[in-house]
Structure 1
Amino acid sequence: MDHDEVRELFDRRMRREAPADGPGCRVERVGDVVRQTGPPEAWNGVLWSGLTDATADAAIAEQIRHFTALGQEFEWKLYAHDEPHDLGARLRAAGFTAGPREALMVAEADRIAALGSAPPDGVELVPVKDAAGVDLMAEVHDRAFATDGTRLRRWLVRQLAEAPGTVVAVVAVADGRPVSSARMELVPGTGFAGLWGGGTVPEWRGRGLYRSLVAHRARIAAARGCRWLQVDASDDSRPILSRLGFATLSTTTPYDYRPEPRPHYCAEATTG
C-alpha cells in the first residue's frame, strides 16, 4: 500500500467529494468547506476544508452560523494533515471542544476477509435488520461504552428502514444475551467502507470477539465490491487493527460545537 496515495484517495472520495451518508442528509461545498447537514440524529458537520491563515476564521464563523440557525450540534472532523496548521487552536478559540484523537487506519478488505476469525464457541453473529436488533446493539453500546446510545439507536432504525444498502450491523449473542456489536457504513461509489462502533461488554473482552466482528464485516465489504476498509481507531482498538494489517495514514480529532440554548420567554398573562 502506498500510504500517501491511499490517503489522497480517501481525502478525495470520502471528504472532498463525499456523498450524503444517510436518509435526509445533504452534502454541500460552501467556499472551501464541505459539510453535511441532516436530521438531529444523523452526523452533522464539516467533512473537509481547504483553508488558509487568511480564510480559516471566517469559514469557521460561517459554519457556526449555519448549524446554529438550525439548532444543530455539529462536528468539525479535523485531520492532522489539514491546513492551516493551527486550525485546531482556531476551532477551540471559536468555542469548539476537542474529543480524543484517533488514528485513521485503512486496509484492503479482501486481505482482512481472508484472515478469517470465527467467534468463540457458544457465540453467534446475528445480523441486525430491524428495531429489535438495534435494541440489542444499544444494550451492548450502553454497557461497553457507558454512554447513552439513544441517538444512535434512532439513526440506525431510520437507516435500516430507509437506506438498508448503506449500513451493515451485527450483534454477537451468547446464552441469549448480546455481548458485542458493530456496524459498517457502505458509501456507494467510493470503494470505501467504514467500520464503526465495535464494542464488547466487559466480561467478554479479550476473547477475540472484536477481531471476529472486523473479519465478518470485511467479508461483507469485499463481497459488495468495496476495496478499502477505513477505521477511526481508538487507543484500545489500534493495536488489534495493526496486528490484523491495518495501516495508519493520519490522525483525526473531533471538534464538537454545541449552540447556546435559546432563552425561553414566558407569555404575558393578565389577572384582571
Structure 2
Amino acid sequence: MNNALFRDLYDLQLRTSAEVDSASSYIRLGPLWLAKYPGQGFITYRSIAPEVDLEALIGEALAYFSADPSIEEVEWKTRQHDDLPDISRLLVKYGFVFDEPETVMIGTVESALRAGADLPTGYRLEKAENEQDLREASAQAGAVFGDSPERTQRRCEELVARANAEPDSFEMWLVRGPEGDVVCTGRVDFVAHTDFAGLWGGACNEAHRGQGIYRALTAQRARSAQERGKKFLQVDCTEYSRPILQRAGLVPVTVTTPAIWTH
C-alpha cells in the first residue's frame, strides 16, 4: 500500500471515536469530539467543512472545558493534511500553544516483524504484569521525555486505572538492563473495531540506544498486535524513533502537532 492509501485508512478508522474510546466521557459539538480525561480535555475531528465558523467552534469548545474546574489543560490535535489554513492563527488567538510536531507513521504488522532484532546479552524483554511494572514503565518514560513529576504521576494513574478497567485493551512491554532496571518501554493499544494497533510511549534511555533494543521492543508489540488479529500499526513518533520505525516498514502519512490550552 502507498502512503496515500495508509492516510485514508488513518482518517477512516483512527480519528474521532477511536481516539476517545478510553475517555472518561465525551460529547459531540458539530464536527468536533470533545473528550474528558482526568485533568485533561481533548479535541479531535475527522473533517471540518469550509463553511463552518471555525473561530466560533473553538470558542464553544473552550467554554465547555472551562466550565469544568477539574480540567487543567486542553489539547487540540491538528493534522498537517487537513484543509484548515486558518487553524493555527485562530488557536493561538484563543491561547493555545503549539507543542513539538510528531510524524504519523503507518505500516503492516508483517513488515515490523521482519525487521525485529535480538536483544543484547544481559537484557530481557518482559510484559508488564502488575501495577508495579506499570509504575516502573511510567517513571522511565517520563524521565526520557522530560515530563514533570506531576504529569508523569497523572499519566501513571491513568494507565493503572485503565489496566484495572480494560485489561485487554493494551499491553505494556519493558526491557530490563543488566542491572535489572527498566531501560526501554513501549505500549501497544488494540484499537477496537479497527484493523489497527497503536504503538505509544516508546522510550529508550540514551545510554542504551544503538543496540537494537527499540527494534526488539517494536517487533514484540507487532507480534502482540498480530495475535489480536490486527493488520496495521500506527504511531505518532519523534525524529528519534522515526528512522527505526522506517526500517520496520512504517511510512509517514501526515504530521500531527498538538496545541495545548492551559486553564
Contact (CA 8 Å) 2:115, 2:247: kept in 1 or not?
no
1:38: how far off? 2.9
Q: 1:26 to 1:14 in 2, by over 3 A?
A: farther
- 2-side partners of 1:191 and 1:113: how far apart? 16
- 1-side partners of 2:160 and 2:196: how far apart? 22
Aligned residue pairs total 256
TM-score scaled by structure 2? Answer: 0.91
Contact (CA 8 Å) 1:141, 1:199: kept in 2 or not?
yes
- Whether 1:30 aligns to 2:18 is no
Q: 1:17 to 1:154 in 2, by over 3 A?
A: closer
CA radius of gyration, larger in: 1
- 1-side partners of 2:65 and 2:85: how far apart? 24
Q: Which moved more, 1:116-125 or 1:57-66?
A: 116-125
1:47 aligned partner, one-letter code: T
Q: 1:208 to 1:15 in 2, by over 3 A?
A: same
2:173 aligned partner, one-letter code: V
- 1-side partners of 2:34 and 2:195: how far apart? 20
Residue 66 of structure 1 aligns to a residue whose secondary structure is: helix
- 2-side partners of 1:120 and 1:47: how far apart? 41
| 2:50 equivalent among 49, 52, 66 | 52
2:36 aligned partner, one-letter code: T
Q: 1:206 to 1:19 in 2, by over 3 A?
A: closer
1:117 aligned partner, one-letter code: A
- 1-side partners of 2:18 and 2:143: how far apart? 32
- 2-side partners of 1:27 and 1:14: how far apart? 16
* Residue number in structure 2 paired with 1:87: 87
List per-residue Cα deviations over 1:123-148 (Å, max 9, x = no partner). Answer: 11111122100121123124322323
- 2-side partners of 1:116 and 1:200: how far apart? 16
1:224: how far off? 0.4
Q: Which moved more, 1:91-100 or 1:3-12?
A: 3-12
Q: After TM superposition, list the pairs within 5 Å mapping 1:155-174 onto structure 2.
A: 155-174=158-177
1:196: how far off? 0.9
Residue 239 of structure 2 aligns to a residue whose secondary structure is: coil
Q: Which moved more, 1:149-158 or 1:49-58?
A: 49-58
* Residue number in structure 2 paired with 1:262: none
Residue 44 of structure 1 aligns to a residue whose secondary structure is: strand
* Residue number in structure 1 paired with 2:156: 153
Residue 231 of structure 1 aligns to a residue whose secondary structure is: strand
2:259 aligned partner, one-letter code: Y
- 2-side partners of 1:61 and 1:214: how far apart? 40
- Whether 1:96 aligns to 2:96 is yes
- 2-side partners of 1:222 and 1:67: how far apart? 38
* Residue number in structure 2 paired with 1:67: 65
Q: 1:14 to 1:25 in 2, by over 3 A?
A: farther
Q: Percent identity?
A: 30
- 1-side partners of 2:50 and 2:91: how far apart? 14
* Structure 2 spans left out of the alignment, 5+ residues: none
Runs of 4+ in 1 over 6 A off after TM superposition: none
Q: 1:227 to 1:57 in 2, by over 3 A?
A: same
Contact (CA 8 Å) 1:170, 1:182: kept in 2 or not?
yes
* Residue number in structure 2 paired with 1:5: 5
Contact (CA 8 Å) 1:125, 1:170: kept in 2 or not?
yes
1:197: how far off? 0.9
Contact (CA 8 Å) 2:42, 2:75: kept in 1 or not?
yes
TM-score scaled by structure 1? Answer: 0.88
Contact (CA 8 Å) 2:127, 2:174: kept in 1 or not?
yes
Contact (CA 8 Å) 1:19, 1:27: kept in 2 or not?
no
List per-residue Cα deviations over 1:227-248 (Å, max 9, x = no partner). Answer: 1111111111112211221111
1:29: how far off? 2.6
2:91 aligned partner, one-letter code: L
* Structure 1 spans left out of the alignment, 5+ residues: 260-272
